[in-house]
Structure 1
């Protein structure tokens, strides 16, 4: 995953009772004044309380963070079959009631953003579309004064109804009433984003107490990271189990491998194309790396047969050769080629689990069960 930072992230917010300060990757959040503290009239004639400035009735802005009239943004002027991204100067839309304006510090670049920038797909705008769904920033305008200066995240699933059959079953991504960035709400490839309050994901204060926290790394948790966590929960990875991650070099793949190895205590075999594995250090994400068969390798070919034999041998070694020879307990497919989804039944043992979180665009494949 690639992370972009906004120019605004280079500036420290004004020293005050409610502020967020970035200094050599140390994040500090100072609490708001008590709500009952009396408002005083500031010199510019607007109502103020601590670091809150009321510029319109029931709307508040962070003191010293007056919104500019224009900003830089990466937009698609007109959607089509090819990517058509332009860096432009556009207006800043200020939050109205029920909304908040976020000054973006960092935003991730996800492969999905390329998909969201062509078409348009159903429900996406045709003109002046802004993508981006892995944003981190702080609230600078809201009707809720307690949010001012708060570090928040913006992700693809902005909000769901929390009451339909899908939401009640723990499947909010299937909610028919969901709000998505950048489908229903413009995305994070801009310096200032205005979204419904329901789309905000506050970063817990306790999380921010770690001095070693690098805020720039947080966007990876919002899409790739959450997908990796969901995949591992679906297959319920246990300690000492052998997990094969197909597509280990990708954003989802390396995070799935890292979490399975370092948190779940599993033995991880990472596979990927040789061209992607040679130049990277995967020691934190896998126990063993195997070059995946080339996409053109056909079922029954010598290349594929050798790969299966090597995989089975590696599984036995990771188990210490103390049990019967068998394939992996879990296979996670996090790749984006059709070939990665083939022959999966040969990689998993009897009673094993397979989860597919990769995505192949405009391609139909069958998987033998």
Structure 2
């Protein structure tokens, strides 16, 4: 079978590999869709400290069960499934408290285990142990189901930031995650959602799909002033930084309304993780700043339901579908910001 395998930074190859064999507690699937994200591009260029090469990449996975291990119950060939990416241990103090997103023993598909840029892959027992293999609802395509993983991360972030009825929400970053944030905020009852990006072409592409109440080009206007003007000087109830930019985080604090919530959703580059924070704004306005780190198995199930029920449509966000032998082209499209979501369909 063909796989997309990471060997070293700058060295990702499409090559032949033997079909994997599931262990007694594992499930083997035929991969039908594996969507790409910016993390895949980072791995291509820089590797990752959790990846010991060679490693098959890909973590936004949907497929069809073809074989189950002898100890597995409840699954059978032909079942359509979505696979979680981040796998908590389910046993540590954090997991027992329901805080699976911050499990210190977390492992991940495409990092510690071979991922979904392949014709076939094994879903390890670690996934099944935490109920992380999910049935795809009837009527939902494999490609749409693969987007449940990033939506699960977005759902975690908005739950932590308590996005709700009547909120004015700012989403900074108009990539696929930003688009999902816009749609989920609307589904959660936000009154208005504003989308911000530096890149005019990417912002225009995203705004044409998700239709924010306003699309603000940060390279051409002062974003804080624009949000204050839109909100009558009050500021935004929630600001989500879906971009790896310290400047966006600093602006988020300045544009938040009193008792506003700020989600540092996008991590910063490891060589520039420190920002200038006006602590008096946080103090006097009673602001809340929350992080967001991946998703739990429950978030993935909820994301599938939101997509299948039409609350958060994703089909139109999949702007490119490519075969496995064009996976490197997919990474290039993502890196250049020419797409919203690129899905590889082995």
Fold in common (TM above 0.5): yes
Distance in 2 of aligned mates of 1:204 and 1:156: 15
1:339 paired with 2:244, answer no
1:343/1:367 contact within 8 Å kept: no
- Alignment correspondent of 1:62: none
Deviation, 1:118, is 5.1
1:186/1:193 contact within 8 Å kept: yes
- Alignment correspondent of 2:4: 74
1:203 paired with 2:134, answer yes
- Alignment correspondent of 2:144: 217
Counterpart of 2:156 (choices 226, 230, 235) is 230
Moved more, 333-342 or 171-180: 171-180
**Which digits, 9 at most, give the CA deviation of each residue in 1:343-364, with x for residues without a partner?**
3221101111101111232323
2:164/2:189 contact within 8 Å kept: yes
- Alignment correspondent of 2:276: 367
Distance in 2 of aligned mates of 1:234 and 1:241: 14
Deviation, 1:88, is 0.5
**Which digits, 9 at most, give the CA deviation of each residue in 1:276-330, with x for residues without a partner?**
1234444635222111146xxxxxxxx53xx3322112123xxxxxxxx411111
- Alignment correspondent of 2:175: 250
* Greater gyration radius: 1
Counterpart of 1:108 (choices 35, 42, 46) is 35
**Which digits, 9 at most, give the CA deviation of each residue in 1:65-91, with x for residues without a partner?**
xxxxxx011112x323xx211110111
1:130–1:291 distance in 2 versus 1, CA, 3 Å:
same
Deviation, 1:202, is 3.7
Distance in 1 of aligned mates of 2:38 and 2:75: 31
Looking at both structures, which has the greater relative contact order when contacts are Cα pairs under 8 Å and sequence separation is at least 6?
Answer: 2
1:99–1:122 distance in 2 versus 1, CA, 3 Å:
same
Counterpart of 2:99 (choices 160, 171, 176) is 171
2:34/2:146 contact within 8 Å kept: yes
Deviation, 1:119, is 5.0
| Superposition pairs of residues 252-267 of structure 1, within 5 angstroms | 252-267=177-192
Counterpart of 1:310 (choices 222, 226, 243) is 226
Instruction: Report the count of equivalent residues.
Output: 270
Distance in 2 of aligned mates of 1:367 and 1:171: 29
| Superposition pairs of residues 150-165 of structure 1, within 5 angstroms | 150-158=79-87, 160-165=88-93
Deviation, 1:336, is 2.1
TM-score (norm 1): 0.68
SS in 2 for 1:361: coil
Between Structure 1 and Structure 2, the one with more helix by share is 2
Moved over 6 A (4+): none
Distance in 2 of aligned mates of 1:366 and 1:139: 46
Structure 1 portions without partners, runs of 5+ = 1-70, 295-302, 317-324
Distance in 2 of aligned mates of 1:281 and 1:99: 42
SS in 1 for 2:215: strand
Structure 2 portions without partners, runs of 5+ = 280-346
SS in 2 for 1:237: coil
